[in-house]
Structure 1
Amino acid sequence: MKRRDAASDWIVEALALRLTANEAATLVQQLYDSLKEWIQHGELLAADMLPSSRYLSRTLGISRNTVLAAMDRLLAEGLLISRQGAGLYVADLPALLTRAELPPPLPVRYSNRGNKLLTLSGTLSHGHRAFAPGVPALDLFPREQWQRLLRRHYSHAKMTWMDYQTSGGLPELKAVLCDYLRFSRAVRCQPEQIVITQGAQQAFELITQLLTDHGDSVWMEEPGYGGAQACFLTSGLTVTPIPVDQQGLNPSLAPAKTPAPRLIYVTPSHQYPSGVTMPVPRRLALLEHAFHAGSWIIEDDYDSEFRYDTPPTPSLQGLSEQASVIYVGTFSKVLYPGLRLGYLVLPDTLAEDFTRALARLHREGNYPVQSALAEFIANGHFTRHIARMRAAYRQRQACLRTALAPAVAKGLSLSGGHAGMHLLAELATIEEEEILVERASEVGITLSPLSRYYLSENKRPGLVLGYAGSTESDLIASGKWLSDTWLHLRNSQDSTTPSAEGMPAYSPGAFL
């Protein structure tokens, strides 16, 4: 018997076993997948003849159009060839190596900046477990109201919004955002100075791409925000950590002979993660230093809306007469991170060029969402939501403080908590920090170690405790676990290596 006749016989029998009407894949897909697999793995060889479409249709009990559709795909991909008047044959293809014959995979070699990025990415938290910093109260977001707005603005979206956009954001959103920033944050701006971005991170990247060259110096708060650190380091900038004191970044603490920075990154309203607020005299001193050094200041105002017992401090940008401040804001903290919207408030001299660069690099869009957000702000929903969150966060912080009170009474130091969405707990040693982080991970609690926010070796141990994204009952349960665990470690501090024996258990349901 010829090879081609034998192939025809077993093809029909094998297909009869494989084709199933109840499979999720269509019969066309099943037929195509089976024949392709046999060809690629050598069960069907070059010049093997396939049964005719009529024969396959009749013997398999399927439509001939189904068979022809699968064969047409195989012909289009070059796996089969058609011989006039003689039928379909397997094409002469290069032999595929078996898994055993394949050479070992090439070693992965990341760039230097890629390795830096991956190192910094190790601090990302997964999921919204207790104490995850930077996560807002998603459970309190007015989701139904927001979804109604989205549906209406998508259904009435302008045809022009489907095209590429080059305006730096929806004009209506920039107009209402401008009014909000002028009145609530004392930001000096016109709508034309605002550029809407996909979050603050994209804003940082746009600043570095337009205003810095490889090797330029940037001053970074120490400790400081990991997202900004990652952006500057992977952009090839020389990052100089400047220590933060009780008034924020202190220019006088810059190392001797440090080159004049091209950029100075600060979070003056609520320094991340220490929580201190930069007073006006320090702000004026920083503005003067930047003016004489020819530096651009990046003011990251990420959660200044949430102040509890002190009046808001005017923005650094609003104090500047030299137009040297670039103001960065985000909706991730006040609304929700998945919105992926942030903004830049730029000096007049930069706004048009930043708008063009954004359109070139990132192809801005999603104007229906921006339109819904503009209405959300214009109708007062935004400010009312902030007021509700401010009250909720004050209560959630109080719950966390109550849960941690036994440890505080024995010496655990907490930050003031006058603003923001997290508290900072200071620890005695890096070893203590590592043990607490490890034990918390084992019971499903997120503890963000303060030492990871440092770029220099002069690290301070501590914990960044986010409370905004957790319910009060979860904060009580998790806070009690942390308090008990810290007290256990403190009581066993005379041991060379603290033991896990007797470590408090964590059971959220027990405190509900």
Structure 2
Amino acid sequence: MHFADSLATLRLDPGSATPMFRQLYLAIKQAILAGTLGPGVQLPPTRELSTMFGVSRQTILNAYSQLLAEGYLSGVVGKGTFVSSSLPIANALNSGKPHQLIRPLSARGERFTGPEAYLPYHQGASRAFRIGMPGLDAFPFDVWSRLEARCWRRPPHELGYGDPAGYLPLREALAGYLRASRGVQCTADQIIITSGSQQAVYLIATMLLMPEDKVWVEEPGYRGINASLRAAEACICPVPVDNEGLNVAHGISHYPEARLVYVTPTHQLPLGMTMSLPRRLELLGWASANKTWVVEDDYDSEYRYGGPPLASLQSLDKSGCVIYVGTLSKVLFPGLRLGYIVAPPALAQAFTQGKAIMDRHAPLVPQAVLADFIQEGHFQRHIRRTRDVYAERRDTLLRAIDARLSDRLTVGATDTGLHLPVMFRQPCDDHVIAKAGLDHGLELRGLSYFYNETQADTRRVGVCGLLLGFAAIPPAEIRRGVDRLHALLNKQF
């Protein structure tokens, strides 16, 4: 098609906020991308076009110059200006049909998609009974903002590309804290700062596992580890838990060749029990003898209401087989996206290099602020204060359940963490109940969600229940939430 015909209806608007050369540039560009101006079509001389549109020749020159610079046009001295003949125009780009991928995802890419890999996320303000969320109303944002402002006034020299392992003062502060509070045997050189614990477990799985390597996971357990293992092409091996935690004997008898074990020994997710000392020693003895790695996810152990926090599994490890994973999401807030790995010395450098490949390093300024937050005593004060706040909220929830729902629910372990499990006294579909909760203003998570088996297989005694978070909402909202849950269950049963 001739150039004049293709732009016959174009009118440049001198009153527009968009400069006229830009209007012309966009019109010619769109005509080329749409295939209206095909490869090799010659454009009019600039003088002719300036007369056609009633604009200065410089306006035309500016538009042509931009199109030449971006490769839409090519100029030949003595011959004129043409639509570039090298463009793969354009019918495919603007066919009016939905875009189709030329190639599907790879087999590995497929492992990042689908319901097995989906990780839920928080939407909207906190409400009863959101899990995985601390109380933002208890966080000292005034202190944090003051420390952050000071950091910007005196920015650390590491604002370039920093150490992939993380900001050294933060790693030193965390090493001191973990030695004192959790008995973790470590130095700053063993700590790698990650973008949350989810990245930590994915990094571990990617670095240590070959495709189809077997991995023990707790049944029921944290679904996020399954997503990471699935992405790493590992074979997920569910091992049941009982009142003493992970059933190590079951794992040994069914999956003796496992290369890695994932466990939440201090506060099992979701059922809440603590792994007994005999089980811990049994696991460590077997892992050491079989050269198997153990990932200890210590996600909310700071909040124990019946005494001081328990010592970590890593503190018992004499052979260097435990990889300790921690997070700041439960103590501070999830949006901070800071977690950490305490790696055995033999793995620390490799994990650091792996972290560098993933995303260079975690954001520096939040690390620097957190280092000051810990070193100046705010971190420990915050934990002590929130432990009291959450204990009150837990007690409020327990009293409300006892008063309103004791005929419907039994309560599981309650001495640690930011949530508590409850089991229904009669068989039901907890997924249906959780979904119905949305209509009552409740955010519920069924216990069946945490199982690897199909929901139909898990509807048995002790499985049908809910995980109720209490830390994120004040006591009055907890009581209102229990009232709404009571109304919901009256409709369901």
Query: TM-score interval w.r.t. the shorter chain?
Result: 0.7 to 0.9
Are 1:393 and 2:390 counterparts?
yes
Q: 1:144 & 1:326 partners in 2: Cα distance?
A: 35
CA RMSD of the aligned region, Å?
Answer: 3.1
Equivalent residue of 2:210, what SS?
coil
Contact kept, 8 Å, 1:130 with 1:446, in 2: the verdict is yes
Contact kept, 8 Å, 2:304 with 2:415, in 1: the verdict is yes
Are 1:148 and 2:141 counterparts?
no
Match of 2:12 in 1: 16
Equivalent residue of 2:304, what SS?
coil
Contact kept, 8 Å, 2:404 with 2:483, in 1: the verdict is no
Are 1:358 and 2:330 counterparts?
no
Equivalent residue of 2:192, what SS?
strand
Report Cα offsets for 1:320-379 as digits up to 9, x if no partner.
222221111111111111211111112222223322333344312533322211111000
Are 1:40 and 2:2 counterparts?
no
Match of 2:240 in 1: 243
**AA at the equivalent of 1:69:** N
Match of 2:345 in 1: 348
Are 1:337 and 2:337 counterparts?
no
Question: After alignment, is 115-124 or 133-142 more displaced?
Answer: 115-124
TM-score between the two structures when normalised by the length of structure 1: 0.84
Query: How far is 1:57 from its partner?
Result: 9.3
Query: How far is 1:404 from its partner?
Result: 3.1
Query: How far is 1:224 from its partner?
Result: 0.7
Report Cα offsets for 1:122-162 as digits up to 9, x if no partner.
45134144322111112332223212322332443344430
Q: 2:154 & 2:59 partners in 1: Cα distance?
A: 41
Distance 1:259 1:231, change over 3 A: same
Question: After alignment, is 45-54 or 448-457 more displaced?
Answer: 45-54
Query: How far is 1:399 from its partner?
Result: 3.2
Match of 1:118 in 2: 114
Q: Taking every aligned residue pair, what percent have the same amino acid on both sides? A: 36
Are 1:192 and 2:189 counterparts?
yes
Contact kept, 8 Å, 2:49 with 2:60, in 1: the verdict is no
Q: 1:228 & 1:57 partners in 2: Cα distance?
A: 67
Q: 1:120 & 1:228 partners in 2: Cα distance?
A: 11
Q: 2:352 & 2:111 partners in 1: Cα distance?
A: 31
- Written as runs of structure 1 = structure 2, the 5 A alignment for 1:225-374 is 225-254=222-251, 256-374=253-371
TM-score between the two structures when normalised by the length of structure 2: 0.87
Q: 1:103 & 1:140 partners in 2: Cα distance?
A: 48
Contact kept, 8 Å, 2:42 with 2:80, in 1: the verdict is no
Distance 1:4 1:451, change over 3 A: closer
Contact kept, 8 Å, 2:119 with 2:224, in 1: the verdict is no
**AA at the equivalent of 1:297:** V
Question: After alignment, is 418-427 or 129-138 more displaced?
Answer: 129-138
Unaligned runs of 5+ in 2: none
Match of 2:469 in 1: 466
Are 1:96 and 2:93 counterparts?
no
Q: 1:68 & 1:135 partners in 2: Cα distance?
A: 58
Contact kept, 8 Å, 1:404 with 1:483, in 2: the verdict is no
Contact kept, 8 Å, 1:20 with 1:27, in 2: the verdict is no
Query: How far is 1:248 from its partner?
Result: 0.9
Question: After alignment, is 356-365 or 106-115 more displaced?
Answer: 106-115
Match of 2:377 in 1: 380
Are 1:483 and 2:480 counterparts?
no
Contact kept, 8 Å, 2:215 with 2:237, in 1: the verdict is yes
Match of 2:130 in 1: 132
Query: How far is 1:104 from its partner?
Result: 7.8
Are 1:52 and 2:46 counterparts?
yes
Q: 1:399 & 1:300 partners in 2: Cα distance?
A: 28
Q: 2:99 & 2:297 partners in 1: Cα distance?
A: 47
Match of 1:74 in 2: 67
- Written as runs of structure 1 = structure 2, the 5 A alignment for 1:160-239 is 160-166=158-164, 168-239=165-236
Distance 1:203 1:69, change over 3 A: same
Match of 1:505 in 2: none
Are 1:425 and 2:425 counterparts?
no
Distance 1:274 1:44, change over 3 A: same
**AA at the equivalent of 1:111:** A
Question: After alignment, is 103-112 or 392-401 more displaced?
Answer: 103-112
Question: After alignment, is 424-433 or 177-186 more displaced?
Answer: 424-433
Match of 2:406 in 1: 409
Query: How far is 1:454 from its partner?
Result: 0.9
Distance 1:53 1:76, change over 3 A: farther
Distance 1:30 1:306, change over 3 A: farther
Q: 1:26 & 1:475 partners in 2: Cα distance?
A: 58
Unaligned runs of 5+ in 1: 491-512
Query: How far is 1:393 from its partner?
Result: 1.4
Distance 1:225 1:26, change over 3 A: farther
**AA at the equivalent of 1:81:** S
Equivalent residue of 1:344, what SS?
strand
Distance 1:278 1:7, change over 3 A: closer
Contact kept, 8 Å, 1:36 with 1:74, in 2: the verdict is yes
Q: 1:284 & 1:468 partners in 2: Cα distance?
A: 32
Report Cα offsets for 1:1-52 as digits up to 9, x if no partner.
x9555567x3xx62325x6534xx6655443222211232244455353463
Equivalent residue of 2:193, what SS?
strand
Q: 1:134 & 1:28 partners in 2: Cα distance?
A: 54
**AA at the equivalent of 2:163:** Q
Q: 1:157 & 1:65 partners in 2: Cα distance?
A: 47
**AA at the equivalent of 1:294:** K
Distance 1:155 1:121, change over 3 A: farther
Q: 2:348 & 2:2 partners in 1: Cα distance?
A: 72
Q: 1:95 & 1:215 partners in 2: Cα distance?
A: 44
